[in-house]
Amino acid sequence: MNIISHFKDRGKAVTITYSLVFALIAYLAFTTLNSAVQVTMPEENDECMMCHDDKDLKGTRKGKNISMYVNPNHVLGSVHAEVKCVDCHTDLAGVELPHEDDLKPATCGKCHTKQQKDFDMSFHGVALKKGDPLAPNCQYCHGSHQIVDAKHEKSPVQPLKIPFMCGKCHQEGAPVQMSRNIPQSHILENYSESIHGEGLFKRGLVVTATCVSCHTAHAILPHTDKRSSIARNNIAATCSQCHARIEDVHKKIIDGELWEKEAHTLPACVDCHQPHKVRKSFYDVGLAKAECLNCHQDKNIKASKGGRSLHVDISKLDHSVHSDLACSKCHIEVRPSKIRSCETITTKVNCGSCHDKVNDNYMQSSHGKLFLSGESDAPTCVTCHNDHEVLPKINPMSKTFAINIPNLCSECHQDGHQAAVRMEDKVQHLTETYSESIHGQGLKSGRLKVTANCSDCHSAHMEANHENPVSSTHKDNISTTCGKCHWGIQTQFDKSIHSPMVSKSEDDLPNCNTCHVAHSVVDPSKDEFRLSMLNTCGKCHEKITHLYFDTYHGKASLLGSGKAAKCQDCHSAHMILPTSHANSTLSRDNIVETCAKCHPAANKGFTRYLTHATHHDPEKYPLLFITFWGMTILLLGTFLVSWLHTLLWLPKSLKMRKEMMVLKAAGHSGKRVRRFTPLNRILHVTMILCFLTLAATGMMLKFSYAWWAQFSVKLIGGVEVTGFFHRFAAIVLFGVFFTHIFDLIFNKRKEFSSWKEMLLGSDSLLPNKKDWEDFIGSMKWFFNKGPRPQYGRWTYWEKFDYFAVFWGIFVIGSTGLMLWIPEFFTKFMSGQFINVATIIHSDEALLAAGFIFTIHFFNTHFRPEKFPMDTVIFSGSYDVEEFKFDRPAEYEKLVEEGKLEELYVDAPTPTQKKVHSIFGWAALLTGLLIVFLIIYSIISINF
């Protein structure tokens, strides 16, 4: 054993020893403390418990054999734990044990004097004194030995248990309810359905009113007893224990103090607010509804001034929520002392008398302010709720039923109506845009009454301008308003960087309305909404959005693709967090899962793709900067050299045109020489079709901001269809490439004796010494320093065009594959190379299209001596005179070798010439149109 391991083992032993010692000390301290605070019974009670601790102990009471067992734990856990037995069982004081049976009931009043006095005067106490066997005593409600605090969960008089305690006697079917004259029925059932019962049972509010809150706990008396807490003179004071703002609530009618001082002249609380759910008023309420209807049910009754109808349709009144209310509850100015009680009415009904809170809200609302300003068309209570036929909002016939609310509001807010005219400069077409929104469609088409309507967002009574801080649609309140239905979304939003609870930004933060646009809320899964979010996010994140449109996702979105990833797909819709946050969808732990929503095979390398990178920032993105400028130099350099070559060639070409015209005027022998095989021609035509497809569809994506690109993609069938054609053409072009390679190998055996002859011979497509000599000779010819070179089978510019195709297939093809299946390539390379591939693929494609449609078209067709078109690639042959003039070196070689006649072929028929011409012109014009659109797009975006 070495010294290090020795001390390690020794350290473990010491640690274990100290742990055991500390555990023992802690145990001893706990047991000592526990014994110190333990509640014990008085010593005198030990003598009682010597017998009553026996579970089998029996005794007699009123001739009945009952258990006399007392659970000591119950006693110790009660509020009487330290009280002597004889303090309650007073008739045992000084009595030797064992005592006799049939003791008197325990005396509670010795300590609880006030409660005993109240109980004795109550009808419970009176009934008990009379010997009523159903009368409750103290033990009936509080128990005997296990008496705990009223707030204790085991207490039978805990607030939540009070209704059940009282219900033991007062529920339907109980002996008391069946055998005693109690004016109420279904008390417990009705209470459970009342607002107080709902607060207690459904919401667990122990502060809500229970039986004892109104009737008191011990001094329970009938309402006819003046001492009762529910007597007319006392009911206001009883209700005011909880409803302390009675004078504020009823201030529109009368001073609240009068309910206490002059209760006999005013309605009692229970006249309007039934104590139990369906209780009838048992006080004299004065004027009866029937007396009013004696006159007002007459259809011809009218006001003496103005002739306004005063008819009340009793059938509508019977369906109203106010059907049980006397007319005088609303028309408070009636005087029963008058012969015509209503002649004293001078003002309209004030609904705020009962609906005080609603009235306060209304007065703060836009509607209320219009009313206060005296506007005659201001909506009032009866506008929405009617006058006498006031129906609950859950009634489908009610104006305020969820499905009916838009129609109700449109009575004023529909275009051309009073509210719409008043708000015309602020908002237009409210009802129309709402009806087309996802909320409106849910209400109109799905008849979903749970969908959001006008009052859900603007509130029912306190609708106010969104700039008003009290408005439910104010920027500080809108998330809470929407969260009433979209609770989960609100929870997410409150945690996001856009939430004022998280962000410390002083700028205006986005809210629900920013993205979802108030009345025209669109289904967020629709392309219309997904595409609109780019502009919405771009209003604040302009720079990032600009960079987004440089990516495939952004370009596809500009072309109308709803499927392409948008801001919300990566950053989430509502719980947007910094990428450094652990819960962010773009955090290190979550980003793969986020990308996998669209790219199921996404991996860590894939997530290193730079989504908002720019090749204009050499410090932050040096690799992209170098790639972009490398490709730019290659593109500009190629165009510069090629166009310079073309400009130098043009004067000589114009001179050659004249010579060619003289040659044609001299006549033709009719003999034609084969230049291309049928396979060469088929492959070239196929390549033309593929290249035009690739160029057209590719440029639509590259210049996605241009109107012509967006129009073309829409015409084709969308981004996905355009992408299909692009990839299909690429696959076919790959096939053309590999078929040509196979053909070269096959022809080697047929035309060449060896690989050396094929690769290095005079007819080889590889650059050789003669090509350099021809290039130098061409330069001298251009500057009149020498004759035109004797070109052979393949010229140096044809070889350049030929190998440009190889270069393009390799560069554009390989980068295109990387962009097509990035998940595969990022398994062994960083996602940043996808950004590199994007730059190379785009710029190389632009180079290829520009070169083919300008330089190649000139070299092949637009040279004056060939203008307007050289169809040799389509026919496969040309006149022997043209052959001799155009390629003298090859002509002489074939003559010397005696092979010229072997190449003679038949001339194309007139139909074939017409087909060749039509196809050639279609391809030329298409290519020139693409070049024009490329130049137009570049100029339009930069100038």
> pLDDT tens digit string along 450-459?
889 999 999 9
d(CA 822, CA 553): 14
Radius of gyration of the chain (CA): 49
Strands 904-905, 58-61: pairing is unpaired
Burial of 466 (0-12, 13-18, 19+ CB in 10 A): middle
CB 161: neighbour CB atoms within 10 A?
16
The answer to whether residue 252 scores a pLDDT higher than 50 is no
Write down the pLDDT at residue 258: 55
The secondary structure of the chain in percent helix, strand, coil, rounded to multiples of 5, reads 55, 0, 40
Q: What's the whole-number mean pLDDT along residues 423-439?
A: 81
d(CA 59, CA 611): 89
Identify the bridge partners of residue 879 per DSSP, sorted by sequence position: 672
Q: What is the mean pLDDT of the chain?
A: 85
d(CA 719, CA 558): 10
Write down the pLDDT at residue 194: 84
Mean pLDDT is lowest, of 549-563, 748-762, 788-802, for 748-762
d(CA 433, CA 439): 10
The answer to whether residue 846 scores a pLDDT higher than 70 is yes
Write down the pLDDT at residue 41: 64
Residue with token string 């529109």: 252
Sign of the four-CA dihedral 717, 722, 728, 733: positive
Print the SS3 string covering 671-694. CEEECCCHHHHHHHHHHHHHHHHH
Write down the pLDDT at residue 2: 41
- Provide φ and ψ at 59, rounded to 5°: -155, 175
Tens-place pLDDT, residues 265-299: 556 777 667 777 644 444 444 356 778 888 888 88
Residue with token string 């838009």: 406
The answer to whether residue 3 scores a pLDDT higher than 60 is no
Range 604-607, long-range pairs (CB < 8 A, 24+ positions): 605/826, 605/827, 605/828, 605/829, 605/830, 605/831, 606/822, 606/823, 606/826, 606/831, 607/831
Burial of 347 (0-12, 13-18, 19+ CB in 10 A): exposed
User: How is residue 796 written in tokens?
Assistant: 């140096």
Write down the pLDDT at residue 568: 93
d(CA 938, CA 559): 17
Encode 878-890: b = buried (16+ Cβ within 10 Å), e = exposed.
bbbbbbbbbbeeb
Write down the pLDDT at residue 857: 87
Q: Which amino acid is at 421?
A: V
Tens-place pLDDT, residues 65-105: 888 888 888 888 888 888 888 888 888 887 887 787 777 88
Identify the bridge partners of residue 50 per DSSP, sorted by sequence position: none
Tens-place pLDDT, residues 639-663: 999 999 999 999 888 888 887 777 7
- Is residue 676 left, alpha or beta, with left meaning phi > 0 and alpha meaning psi from -120 to 50? beta
Q: pTM score > 0.75 for this model?
A: no
Write down the pLDDT at residue 37: 41
The answer to whether residue 786 scores a pLDDT higher than 70 is yes
Identify the bridge partners of residue 309 per DSSP, sorted by sequence position: 302
d(CA 622, CA 836): 11
Write down the pLDDT at residue 937: 94
d(CA 584, CA 575): 8
Write down the pLDDT at residue 277: 62
Tens-place pLDDT, residues 329-382: 888 777 766 778 888 888 888 888 788 889 999 999 999 999 999 888 899 999
Q: Of 594-608, 762-776, 882-896, give the range with the top mean pLDDT.
A: 594-608
Q: What's the whole-number mean pLDDT along residues 437-441?
A: 88
Query: pLDDT grade, residue 749 (50/70/90)?
Result: low
Query: pLDDT grade, residue 31 (50/70/90)?
Result: very low
The answer to whether residue 12 scores a pLDDT higher than 60 is no
Encode 274-295: b = buried (16+ Cβ within 10 Å), e = exposed.
ebbbebeeeeebebebebbeee
User: How is residue 606 written in tokens?
Assistant: 């894939």
Tens-place pLDDT, residues 693-731: 999 999 999 999 999 999 999 999 999 999 999 999 999
Residue 618 and residue 827 in contact, taking contact as beta carbons nearer than 8 Å = no
- Nearest Cα neighbor of 350 from 459, 255, 253 is 253
CB 29: neighbour CB atoms within 10 A?
10
The answer to whether residue 254 scores a pLDDT higher than 70 is no
Cβ neighbours of residue 342 closer than 8 Å, sequence gap 6 or more:
292, 331, 333, 334
Q: What's the whole-number mean pLDDT along residues 670-699?
A: 93
d(CA 606, CA 825): 8
Write down the pLDDT at residue 177: 76
Residue 23 and residue 16 in contact, taking contact as beta carbons nearer than 8 Å = no
Write down the pLDDT at residue 286: 39
Residue 309 and residue 301 in contact, taking contact as beta carbons nearer than 8 Å = yes
Q: What's the whole-number mean pLDDT along residues 822-826?
A: 95
Print the SS3 string covering 154-187. CCCCCHHHHHHHHHHHHCCCCHHHHHCCCCCCCH
Write down the pLDDT at residue 4: 36
d(CA 881, CA 661): 12
User: How is residue 592 written in tokens?
Assistant: 């793969």
Write down the pLDDT at residue 40: 60
Alpha helices in 473-600 (DSSP H): 478-483, 487-495, 512-516, 527-538, 542-548, 552-558, 567-571, 591-596
Write down the pLDDT at residue 440: 87
CB 642: neighbour CB atoms within 10 A?
19
Mean pLDDT is lowest, of 9-18, 310-319, 533-542, 581-590, for 9-18
Tens-place pLDDT, residues 192-240: 888 888 888 887 888 888 888 899 989 888 888 889 888 888 888 888 8
